[in-house]
Amino acid sequence: MIDDNIKGVRVSEKAFLILKEASEYFNIGQDKVRQLTDEDDCNFVLFNGNKRLIKKKLMEEYLNRQFPI
């Protein structure tokens, strides 16, 4: 039962997004999201092993401060 609830969580309600979700949510390419999260000073990525989790709120704040990306 718990798994059904987790799978049913909308992207807009999630605190962490996988690469594909972040790309779709922010309307930028997956390669660009990967490039941004590879930066040493990136504070909106959390690595769980090889899995890249994007901190949605922090990435949104970052993008709001940018002119070009």
Instruction: List, for residues 32-63, the tens digit of each pLDDT value.
Output: 999 999 999 999 999 999 999 999 999 999 99
- Asked if residues 54 and 45 have their Cβ atoms less than 8 Å apart, the reply is yes
- pLDDT at position 6: 57
Domains by residue range for the chain, with CATH:
2-64 (3.90.105.50)
Task: Give the N- to C-terminal CA distance of the chain in Å, as an integer.
Answer: 41
How many H helices and E strands in the chain? 4, 3
pLDDT reading at 1 higher than 90: no
